[in-house]
Structure formats: structure tokens, C-alpha cells
A and B are shown apart, each in its own frame.
Chain A
Amino acid sequence: MTDLDPLNERLTDVFRQVFDNEELELSDATVASDVEGWDSLNHVKLVVAIEEAFGVKFSNREIGGWENVGDVRRSLAKKVEG
């Protein structure tokens, strides 16, 4: 992944907006407990924001399988690149 992988940059941007934290940095291993404010309400907001930003829809099975940011990124990559 380059420093400007467009998908990753935009995904990070969405996270920054949802959690209202411009300094937020993510890796594939980042989990909810690493990010301040990642509660169930913000989880829903995150789903809505990612769907809106990339024009995709996730199934509840996909969302249920998200353990870390890497899972989110791979789910998304499958939809926008696949």
C-alpha cells in the first residue's frame, strides 16, 4: 500500500469525520477499543458514513464480521474494486 492509496486515504477520512478526530491514524490491526468514542452508536454512524461516502451497501453478515479496521477495509475493497 502506498502512502496515497486513494481508498485507504478516503476511508481514514471517513473515520476522522465520524470520530471527530483529525489526528486519527489507522492500521489494519486497529480495533474499536483503540479509538476514542467507538461505541455502538458511532459504529452505526460509521457504517452509514462509509456506505454514503463510497456509494455501497453492506450486508449485516459483512458488518457482523468486522473485528478490526482491516476487516472494514477488505469488505469495502471487495465492493469498490471487485
Chain B
Amino acid sequence: MLSAVATIDFELLVRAMPDERLVGVALADTDAAERLARADALLAGLDGTGVEAHAAREALVRALRGLVRSESKALRTWLDAQAGASPARDWVVGRVLSWLADPAAAASAWTRVIEREFGPRALRHLARGRIRAEQGDVAGACLDLREAFREPASYRDLERGAKLLAKLRATGEALPAARRTKLALLGGFTTQLMRPLLELACFRDGIDVEIYEAEYGLYRQEVLDRSSGLHRFRPDVVVIATHWRDAQLPPLVDDADETVECLATSFAALWEICTQELHAQVIQHNFDIPAHESYGQLSRALPGGRARLLSRLNLELLARAGSGVSILDFDGVASAFGKDRWSDAHLWYLARQHPAPDALPLWVDQLAAHLRALLGLGKKVLALDLDNTLWGGVIGEDGLEGIQLGAHSPEGEAHQDLQRHARELRERGIVLVVCSKNNEADAREPFEAHPEMLLRTDDVAVFRANWQDKATNLREIAASLGLGLESFVFVDDNPTERAWVRREIPEMAVPEVGSDAAAFVRLLDRGRWFEALSLSEEDRLRASDYAANVRRAELAGAATSMDEFLASLEMTATIGEFDAANLPRIAQLVSKSNQFNLTTRRYTQEQLRGFAESPEHVTRWFRLRDRFGDNGIIGVMLGVVQASEATLEIDLWLMSCRVLGRRMEELMCRTLMRAARERGLTRVRGRYLPTAKNAMVTELYPRLGFEDAGGATRPGETVWEYDLGARPALECSVIRVEEAGEADD
């Protein structure tokens, strides 16, 4: 038998057919020496195919596993010869070494695989992450786990990632996170398979999430019973994950209006308890409309048909959602995934599992995008490459007439659609910037002179076209906007540029949009980067605002003194107490502001509403406009009256970085001091609580004349007081003040 097959050229065979069964058969029933020799030939063949042949490589790994116990010495010698020879061989080395207890050698094999970007991204990073975790390198393992899931992944890979995350959490070490939140997961169906995936998605997005998972089907009881686990848990966010069966609709009802009304009311009642009693935000899932109905198309055609009622109910939920409640489009996720595969009937009967496991990643990504929006972690900037991204071809070589753009060619149309998508994002407040390797004059020409360009120079807040590397350019763009690099999404057709930026700026989102323009919009949108729960007037103003800021900076260059410059801006501030109309924007600022934020306390909209109604609290919002435009609401303050000490303590003080250097902070502080005086208080106390991002306000209180009061209870915290009787009132002459509602000043 052996002699008969020994003459087969496995290298040639596997090159022609890189198949896992072939590898399995080739290595079966062989002794160690023969198996290793054949494995070598197979790897030579796989190296020559030019495809990754992941399954065939894994079959080879499984076959070598059989030698781990009996022939470890021969195996080790063989592996040492393979290491570094090719990425496929390093993959095998990394896999097999994990059974031979040599983590250091395995880790360096994986590092070589990772540097060559070989094989499935999730698996190579998970492999190194597991080794790092076992070695006690939690920080390193966290980096790998994040890298593993930068791109959308399959259910199976996410489940593997969730296992590593569980191990990292079990170490008790703090994992990197920008936000903390307590989330209650109330499912009309089993959420046990989905929950670890949600934890992983939160980890990926910088959210340290603590989850309370209710038994399936008990969401009403959990909310209504005040002694339930949900009420004891005190969540920040309540996720009500329902599906069509929870509506309990027969295929046809007589009174459609009443049915929709009753159902919507029953859910609204649950929301009210969650928002009013638990002070939690609610994420309610709408109803996925089933693909299979006994009434068929009548289910929509008849006024009382089930599909029609579910559609109406979904609209009614949106109409009632309002403040503190957002609706997750579960039906939309089902459609995007494909309704025919959305449900897995046998898993429903077996375990009340819904939807099908393969659909879980898409759902979890949508839910994570909701959470990011809720916690102020949404992206704000879209950075765009030019050549072969915004248009086809290279402007510096092909010239204005040579680039592909517009309806005259399929390629040109695809590029134009990306521009349309970007322009629509800009209209809803996403800031657009350009980052291109080009001569600036060449790069600007299409914006000014090409008839098919949808984006114009005015749409772009910062235009950077030069020959510097893109990471450096992006850093400079972020600095000029005063925005963090983590708020950027970078789109470039060139995989080398994407890899470079990803490597240099790990916090920046760099989706794998490929190099085919027709797929750009879909692959960009898939990340749900710019998901928002509401659209405020400020959002719409923001994009033009950043552009105006650049012009203000030019004016600053012309003015000779700071006061002269500020006066020339003709600034007017409007000040008011927290009110219903402005609460969404106030809540957005409270959840998003990182840099000019003295205490970084994150309050929900419901909590903020509570402060507005409380006599012990002084609340103020600040709006600023100047001759270049309206900045909208840019500052929020919250003071707590401490009557026994005749003191007003500043609990919250934050300001948008867009208006830094305008003396706005003096005006804000003066406003709160006046409010304190009017209440007969004699002192204002402020606190600085350090975070990774708010170093810019470390010296704010002493700069305004506050004195060190001591009494800090945390490392880095400082406490400051201002004696209103003994010290002069603050002045701010460069900003004119307008009153709003009942606000003083």
C-alpha cells in the first residue's frame, strides 16, 4: 500500500486541488517520518496555489496533532525547519506548537502570520491572543481580541472570540473601555447564544458592559414586578428583544385599529416603568414580520392581516418612542440578513433559539451601534481618499477629462454614488475631510471644475492633499478639528494605505472597503459607524460649523490681539435652564464630551430631566453664535445647592471643544456664580476628576481664581472654592448675552 502511493507527487496534487479531504487522505495511515515528509510536500503545494486554502491547511494541522504525544521530538525538529519559511507554514507552526507547550515560539510564529496579514483575520489574532492570555499578558491579549473583530465576522468566529473574552474577564483585571454600562437583556426568546456575542461587540467598541439576562419570555413580568431581578439590578439600559410571536396575533383580526392600539399601549406601559422608575434608556425591538404566512399575500392585503398589523405596530412603536426610548429595527436586520434563513425552526423547537445563529452577528452589530450612539461613542468624521475612491483614475496623471466620474460609465457612476452617500452624511452632521497623496492644486481641480462632482470644496472641513504619509495627515486633521482620532472613519481604496493607517492609529475605524467602487457604500455602511438615535439642529449645523472654524482661524491670523480678534467675532451667547426642547442635545453633550469636561459624569436624559425639576439643582445650557454661524448648544452646567455650607457645588461642567479659546468658560462660570448669589449662597465649589482625556481642564479652576480647598478623595482629584463675598465677580466682555426663558443673566 505504502509503496504504491509513495510515488504520488503530493505537491502537484494539492496544488491542483487544495482540498481538505485530499490532505486528510494523503496523511492517513502513515508513520511519523512519512507523514512529515508528505506534510512538507503538501505545504509546498499549498504555497504554490496562490490561494489561502484555509480548510486544507487545517486538515494538515489535525493530522500532525496525532504525532504530538508519540513523536514530539521529530515533530519539533520538523516545525523548527518550517518556521519563517512561508506564512502558511508559520500558520501550521503556530497551531501545532500550542500543543507542544512552547508559547513563546508559537507567539512569534503568529506574529509573523499577522504581519503578513495571512489567513482569516479573526483566527490569526485569536490564536496569538489566547497565547498572550495564558502567559498573563492581558493587555496584549485585549489588543489581539480587538484586532480580531475589526471586520464583521461569522457566528462561529465570534463565539470563539467570546470564549477568550470570558477568560480575560475572569482574570479580574480591568479591560480597556471608554464607557461602563449596566444592560438588562429581556428576551421574548432565548438570548443565551447571543449574550456572549453582545459582550464581545461591547468590548470591541470600548464599552465595559455588565449584563443581566432574564429568563426568556418573561419580559413583562420582569418589568412589572418591582421585586424582580431586573429592578434589583438597576440597569442603565433595558433591551426588550421581542419577535413576531410575542405579538400573539392570529392570522386575521376583526378590529385592526384596536389591536394595534392595545399592543402598542402594552409596550409603552413597560417603557414608562423602565424610564420613570428605573431611569433607564429603553431599546425596544420592533417585530420581524415572518416570511411564511398561511394567508400569503392576503396577510398584507387585508386590513386585519397579521403581516399588515405587524407593519402598523412597528410604525406605532416609532411614533410612541420619544425620549428615553429607541426602537431597534429588528425587521430591518431580518431583511438585510435574508428572511428565508432568518429563523431556524429546529433550533426554535429545540431551545427557543431565535434568530438563526448565523444571523446573530448582524443583529448584535446593530444593537452595539445603538449602544454606541446612546453612550456617545458614535463616529463624527468621514475621512476620504481621492484617486480611485471619490473618482476613478488618478487626477495627477489622467487629468480632469480622464478621471471616471458620473453617469457616463458604470465605474464613474459608482464613484459618484459614494460622493452622494458622503454628501448625505454631511447633511446630517458628519464632518467630511479629505486625505490624499496628491499635489494640492491637482486634487482641488475636480472639486472646482468637474461638472459631475457632487462634493464641493465647501463640503470639506479640512482638505489635506500632499505627499506626507496618511497617518501623519490624519493626526494633523484631527488636531485642527479638535476631535479625537477615535471619532474618524477612513475610506481608501488602497489596501496598503488602509493597513498603514490601521497600524499607526489603531483607534481609527478603517473598514475593508476593497477596491471596487461599486461595493464602497455597502461595505462602509455595514459598520453602522454613524448610527444616531436623534437628529438635533446642532447636528445639522455641525459640518458647516467646522468649516467656519477654519475661516475663524484665518481671521485670528489677521487680528493683532486676542481681545481684538474675539471682539471681531461678534459673539452672542444664549443661556437657559434645562428644558424639554433642548434636553436631547444636552443629554448628547453630557454623554459625548470628553476633553473640556471637569467631572465626566454621564447622566441619562431621564436623570437630567430630574435635575431640571429639582429645587436643589441649578441647571444651565449655553448656546453661542457669531458672525460665521450658529454653534448651537455648546455648554452645560449643573450645580447642586449645599444649603448647610451655603455653597453651590459644580457637579457638571462641560463645553464643546469647538468653542475653546473664546472666553466662553469665563461666561459660564460667571453665570453659575450669579445663580449662587441670587440664592443667597456665599461660595462656589468645583472639582476636577481626571480621566484619560480631560487634561486640558486640569488648571481651569485656579486660572479662574478659585483657591485650593483640599479634601480630594481620589488620586488626581482636586477641589477648588471661590468665595463670592471676598473675591471680585468674573467678567467676560467679549460675549454679548441674550436671555432665554426664565434664565437669569
Contacts and interface: CB of A to CB of B under 8 A. Distances in A.
Interface string A7-33: 001100100010010100000000000
A45 B159 contact: yes
Contacts of B27: 4
B212 interface: no
B565 interface: no
Given A3-B66, A22-B99, A52-B156, A47 B350 contact: yes
B160 to A, nearest CB: 7
A4 B349 contact: no
B550 interface: no
A55 B65 CA distance: 24
Most chain B CB neighbours (cut-off 10 Å) among A10, A47, A48, A58: A48
Given A4-B63, A6-B28, A48 B350 contact: no
Contact of B350 (A6, A9, A60): A60
Contacts of A5: 28
B103 interface: no
A56 to B, nearest CB: 12
A6 B21 CA distance: 8
A44 interface: yes
Interface in B16-43: 20-21, 24-25, 27-29
A5 B29 CA distance: 9
A6 B349 CA distance: 31
B78 interface: no
B178 interface: no
B562 interface: no
A44 B163 contact: no
B62 interface: yes
B350 A44 contact: yes
B206 interface: no
B59 A58 contact: no
Nearest to B66: A3
A44 B66 contact: no
Interface string A33-75: 0000000110011011100100001111001000000000000
B192 interface: yes
Taking residues whose C-beta sits less than 8 angstroms from the other chain, chain B's interface range is 20 to 34
Given A41-B192, A60-B346, A6 B155 contact: no
A48 B347 contact: yes
Contact of B66 (A4, A13, A60, A63): A4
Nearest to A22: B99
B346 A2 contact: no
B156 A6 contact: no
B24 A44 contact: no
Nearest to B63: A4
Contacts of B192: 41, 44
B643 to A, nearest CB: 54
B351 A44 contact: yes
**Secondary structure of the B contact surface, majority rule:** helix
Interface string B48-88: 00000000000100110110000000000000000000000
Contacts of A58: 346
A10 B62 contact: yes
Nearest to B357: A48
Contacts of A60: 346, 349-350
A72 B28 CA distance: 23
Nearest to B348: A60
Contacts of B59: 6
Contacts of B155: 48, 52
Contacts of B29: 2, 4
B28 A4 contact: yes
Interface in B143-201: 155-156, 159-160, 163, 192-193
Contacts of B98: 22
Contacts of B62: 6, 9-10, 13
Nearest to B28: A4
A46 to B, nearest CB: 11
A10 B357 CA distance: 21
A20 B164 CA distance: 10
B28 A44 contact: no
A76 B351 CA distance: 21
Given A4-B28, A44-B351, 4 more contacts: A9-B65, A48-B193, A52-B357, A60-B350
29 contacts: A2-B29, A3-B66, A4-B27, A4-B28, A4-B63, A4-B66, A6-B20, A6-B21, A6-B25, A6-B28, A6-B59, A6-B62, A9-B63, A9-B65, A10-B62, A17-B160, A41-B193, A44-B193, A44-B347, A44-B351, A45-B159, A45-B193, A47-B347, A47-B350, A48-B155, A48-B193, A48-B347, A49-B156, A52-B155
Q: Across the A-B interface, give the 7 residue pairs with the lowest CB-CB distance, nearest first.
A: A6-B24, A4-B28, A44-B351, A9-B62, A48-B357, A60-B346, A41-B192
